[in-house]
Amino acid sequence: MPLFKRRLHRRKHFFKAAPVTGPATKSMRDEITRLVQTVPVNGNKKAFDTEMQSFLSLFTRYVTEKASSEKLDWDKIKSPAENQIVPYDQLTTSFDPKSLQKLAVLKVNGGLGTSMGMTGAKSALEVKNGMTFLDLTVKQIEHLNTTHDIDVPLILMTSFNTHEDTLRIIKKYAEQKLRITTFNQSRYPRIVKESLLPCPQTADDEKSAWYPPGHGDLYNALVHSGVLDQLLADGKEYLFVSNSDNLGAVVDQKILEHMIYTNAEFLMEVTDKTKADVKGGTLIDYDGSIRLLEIAQVPSEHTDEFKSVRKFKIFNTNNLWINLKALKRVMDKGGMDLEIIVNPKITERGEAIIQLETAAGAAIKHFKNAHGINVPRSRFLPVKSCSDLLLIKSDVYALENGELVISPERMFATPPVIKLGDHFKKIQQFQKRFKKIPTIIDLDHLTVAGDVYFGRDVTLRGTVILIANEGQRIDIPDGCVLENRLLSGNLNMIEI
């Protein structure tokens, strides 16, 4: 049975919905058929058709669920049971050297970093000592392979936005000790919100008419690309998945051994919530089964409860460990109906559109003995903003074989809190406002707001707050040392 033919009546988790064939579904089906017919004679019509049928399946489920009166039963949601979340410090410390030989590493590499003002693949951004996200990942896995004399391959799931960039970048790794495989995740048509019809008019319409449907597309894309079958043919049994911009997501043999020892088919790394993580997806107990709950699925009247750390103490890091044989079994039986996340957007022309996306972690419900591992915060070190970038570039972190570790020179085990204002939001602004990254090894907290520039060899210690009022500019001179200081727009310096 083709993967995209999902039996919707089997879906019995958050929503109970029977398939419906309404006018919206029929109109979309007609438009998808027309789109497939626009593939050029020398194009790959079969692959495009497979992709569009997967999209149509997702759209049909969306329409069905939207029409259904039954929604998430909040009263059935509970915090995970003790056996559903295992503390990292309880994992085994005995390793079998042969286990790593069965592992492959996959990085979700489809992001553009548009929130930081980037236009190319985000993984090409220099983050530490002139090295990019990809450079660090390659260095980590090459060190792993060399140290243990094994062959752990690196797999990059790109999007149509980053694929060409990625192929160009990885050429420089040709002489290094690792195999790199790339494959493209699906490209789905954006949907006009008012008409519920696809934005693109032809299969080769402009990029802005399409979207990559979230990292939950990982499973379909692994199958359709042939990568899943190739990994199994190569003797790989386990896949470690993480986002390319999470610099804390390194191979951890303790977690791999735990997976093997417990016969878990799927593991999700979670970590304790802080104020910065209240919107992150969390694991829940739903009718006795473990599930991923995203904020987009939460009824508005329960949003505050979702964000609270009382009921939901942990969040999903999107570091996932998957048994490949189990994944093959699940996909051969018809695939996965992952919870749909509706992502509303406004185009440059001001048109309201929606994107139907899914989350990779939602697959946890499809696997046997699946559970969470509560890992140290050090395994979640994403670079989502220039505030994150400043921290990573600074002397707070050192590099060991491509892995970021907190410098032994720092007195505290946790990194400082950094909040840069809108003037530092884009990477180009960030770069021109720092002649050199300040020394912050002894920093606790930094807040910068307004038009502020940093000279060379600046040192920040303790709590430093810099606020330039509108129309004013603050220049921190070369060699300046600020310790427990508030510097306001009128250039008054106050000791904190």
Binding region for UTP: 122, 185, 214, 245, 384
DSSP structure class, residue 104: E
Q: What is the DSSP string of 238-271?
A: EEEEEETTBTT----HHHHHHHHHHT-SEEEEEE
Distance CA 438, CA 466 (A): 14
Long-range (24+ apart) CB contacts under 8 A made by 96-99 are: 96/257, 96/260, 97/148, 99/253, 99/256, 99/257, 99/260
Q: Are 413 and 376 in contact (CB under 8 A)?
A: no
Q: What is the largest CA-CA distance in the chain?
A: 72
Distance of CA 13 to the CA centre of its chain: 24
- Torsion from C-alpha of 438, 440, 441, 443, nearest 10 degrees: 170
Q: How far apart are the first and last CA of the chain?
A: 67
Distance of CA 320 to the CA centre of its chain: 11
Detail the residues annotated as belonging to a binding site: 122, 185, 214-215, 245, 384
Does the annotation count 384 as an active-site position?
Answer: yes
- Torsion from C-alpha of 225, 229, 233, 235, nearest 10 degrees: 100
Q: Is 28 helix (H, G, I), strand (E, B) or coil?
A: helix
Distance CA 440, CA 454 (A): 13
Selecting among 45, 177, 384, 426, the annotated active-site residue is 384
DSSP structure class, residue 13: S
Phi, psi of 462 (to 5 degrees): 65, -130
Residue type present at position 462 = G
Q: Are 415 and 435 in contact (CB under 8 A)?
A: no
> So which residues are the catalytic ones?
384
